[in-house]
């Protein structure tokens, strides 16, 4: 049995912006079931504290870190036995907006400090300096926000092992030299074999360089990021660490995403009652003002509206799509120009195209259940979860054969 500290910047249902949150919830649950002693470490954003207050919240430590007063709080992942430790630093985390940017969509100006101090707290726990009577044997870090943890741990001879998982290499956690100088890091870290990246500081390099073991979220992506096309300038480093990297396919939470019991659906169904899937489609069509018809093929798309997700391809095909007898339901939020373009098309074809902008868990479940075809034309995709939800909901995923999409969606060859 291992003691595992699982450091993450988001975990469902406490806080979610993307797939990391889903995995940060389901992987620790699965590990706990396998008998591992795992605790999640998460920043205490306001929504998280609100959510946690309902589950039960207690203070377990108080400490000064880099001049900031930090209180460590304990709660549980709602509906599970997984312990979550919340790093409460009001100056950094008590803000509106999402974990990384403000309501205006711009990154917080001090993200380097926010996640540096968070990492320092992880380091203290990892070294058993907070008298918590619990020292991890493994620290599992996820994406750039936690990349500094393996770097900080490398400065100690007696330390737990570290694993760093790349959920998306495109987010490299880049900051200026000045930002680096503002952090209390060894000057020796400013080196291209450590944190320096073409004149900037890269948090993700902290994980890639210093973690004892690296994983990413699908076998194909583990290969792809070793080549310039998908390596985001880090492919050389990842090739260098080739013997310490594994691509392990993400799983999905089959309780949360189960059409037989999903509370978000108008009508539950399973493989024996597949006809009931149609009731969800008719209801969604009505709800969104589309022509109500079981026969018209309904195409769904859910995702962050960013270049990665292939939104340009969908927009480029829009004329063709609307000229055919089919419907398109889109849910997402992201870059303003995509939101604007989609809003315009929906206004132009109200009975054929429905666009819901923003984050909406219920609508996401309903789209998965109602669509005949799910579109996921990502340019690159580390793993991707929606195509797996589609498979579970009897919805045909049409995907670009790349990364985790290639590893999860197969053509029937006979």
Which range in 132-140, 204-212, 224-232, 353-361 contacts ligand ADP by CB under 6 A? 353-361
Residue 349 vs 359, nearer CB to ligand ADP: 359
Which residue has 């290639």 as its token pair? Answer: 406
**Angstrom distance (rounded) from CA 101 to CA 111:** 9
Report whether 383 contacts 252 (CB < 8 A): no
Residue 136 vs 382, nearer CB to ligand ADP: 382
How many residues make contact with ligand ADP (CB under 6 A)? 19
Instruction: Please select the residue that binds ligand ADP; options are 8, 14, 19, 26, rule is CB under 6 A.
Output: 19
> Is residue 355 part of the contact set for ligand ADP (CB under 6 A)?
no
Task: Report residue 231: phi and psi, to 5°.
Answer: -85, -5
Instruction: Please select the residue that binds ligand ADP; options are 145, 333, 390, 395, rule is CB under 6 A.
Output: 333
Least gap, CB of 386 to ligand ADP (angstroms): 5
Instruction: Please select the residue that binds ligand ADP; options are 201, 265, 290, 331, rule is CB under 6 A.
Output: 331
The 3-state secondary structure of 6-66, one letter per residue: EECCCECCCECCCHHHHHHHHHHHHHHHCCCEEEEEEECCHHHHHHHHHHCCEEEEEEEEC
Report whether 361 contacts 335 (CB < 8 A): no
**Angstrom distance (rounded) from CA 294 to CA 278:** 6
Please report, as residue ranges, which positions from 278 to 307 form the binding site for ligand ADP (by CB under 6 A): 302-304
Report whether 108 contacts 101 (CB < 8 A): yes
Instruction: Please select the residue that binds ligand ADP; options are 50, 66, 193, 361, rule is CB under 6 A.
Output: 361
Residue 89 vs 169, nearer CB to ligand ADP: 169
Which range in 192-200, 267-275, 318-326, 381-389 contacts ligand ADP by CB under 6 A? 381-389
| Beta-bridge partner residues of 86 | 42, 73
> Is residue 399 part of the contact set for ligand ADP (CB under 6 A)?
no
Please report, as residue ranges, which positions from 166 to 205 form the binding site for ligand ADP (by CB under 6 A): 168
Which range in 15-23, 193-201, 236-244, 277-285 contacts ligand ADP by CB under 6 A? 15-23
Number of residue whose CB is nearest ligand ADP:
19
Which range in 41-49, 59-67, 68-76, 358-366 contacts ligand ADP by CB under 6 A? 358-366
* Beta pairing class for 58-65 and 298-305: unpaired
- Written as six digits, the tokens of 338 are 């995509």
Least gap, CB of 240 to ligand ADP (angstroms): 26
Sign of the alpha-carbon dihedral angle for 379, 381, 386, 388? positive
Residue 142 vs 386, nearer CB to ligand ADP: 386
Which residues neighbour 191 within 8 Å (Cβ) at sequence distance 6 or greater?
none
On the CB side of 330, CA atoms within 13 Å amount to 28
Residue 123 vs 143, nearer CB to ligand ADP: 143
- Written as six digits, the tokens of 226 are 């070793």
Residue 152 vs 391, nearer CB to ligand ADP: 391
- Written as six digits, the tokens of 79 are 């509906």
Instruction: Please select the residue that binds ligand ADP; options are 386, 390, 395, 408, rule is CB under 6 A.
Output: 386
Q: Classify residue 375 by its DSSP letter.
A: E
Name the site residues for ligand ADP (rule: CB under 6 A): 18-20, 22, 168, 302-304, 331-333, 359-361, 364, 383-386
């Amino acid at each position: 049995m291992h003691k595992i500290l699982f450091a993450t910047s988001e975990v469902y249902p406490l806080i979610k912006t993307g797939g990391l949150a889903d995995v940060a919830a389901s992987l620790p649950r699965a590990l706990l079931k396998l008998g591992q002693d795992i605790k999640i470490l998460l920043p205490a954003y306001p929504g998280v504290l609100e959510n946690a207050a309902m589950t039960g919240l207690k203070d377990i430590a108080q400490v000064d870190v880099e001049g900031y007063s930090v209180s460590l709080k304990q709660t549980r992942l709602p509906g599970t036995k997984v312990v979550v430790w919340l790093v409460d630093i009001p100056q950094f985390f008590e803000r509106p907006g999402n974990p990384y940017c403000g309501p205006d969509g711009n990154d917080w100006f001090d993200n380097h400090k926010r996640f540096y101090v968070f990492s320092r707290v992880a380091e203290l726990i990892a070294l058993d300096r907070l008298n918590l009577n619990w020292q991890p044997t493994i620290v599992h870090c996820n994406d750039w926000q936690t990349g500094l943890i393996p770097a900080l741990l490398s400065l100690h001879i007696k330390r737990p092992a570290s694993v760093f998982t790349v959920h998306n290499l495109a987010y490299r956690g880049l900051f200026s030299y000045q930002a680096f100088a503002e952090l209390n890091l060894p000057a020796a870290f400013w080196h291209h074999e450590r944190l320096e990246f073409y004149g900037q500081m890269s948090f993700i390099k902290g994980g890639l360089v210093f973690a004892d073991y690296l994983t990413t979220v699908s076998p194909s992506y583990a290969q792809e990021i070793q080549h310039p096309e998908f390596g985001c300038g880090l492919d050389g480093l990842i090739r260098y660490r080739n013997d310490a990297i594994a691509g392990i396919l993400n799983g999905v939470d089959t309780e949360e995403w189960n059409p037989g019991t999903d509370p978000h659906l108008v009508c539950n169904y399973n493989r024996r009652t597949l006809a009931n899937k149609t009731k969800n489609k008719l209801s969604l069509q009505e709800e969104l003002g589309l022509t109500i018809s079981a026969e018209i093929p309904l195409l769904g798309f859910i995702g962050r509206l960013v270049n990665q997700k292939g939104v340009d391809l969908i927009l480029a095909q829009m004329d063709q799509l609307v000229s055919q007898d089919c419907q398109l339901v889109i849910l997402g939020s992201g870059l303003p120009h995509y939101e604007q373009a989609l809003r315009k098309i929906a206004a132009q074809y109200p009975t054929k195209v429905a666009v819901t902008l923003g984050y909406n868990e219920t609508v996401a479940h309903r789209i998965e259940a109602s669509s005949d075809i799910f579109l996921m034309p990502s340019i690159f995709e580390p793993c991707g979860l929606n195509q797996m939800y589609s498979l579970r909901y009897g919805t045909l995923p049409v995907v670009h054969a790349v990364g985790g999409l290639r590893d999860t969606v197969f053509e029937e060859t006979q």
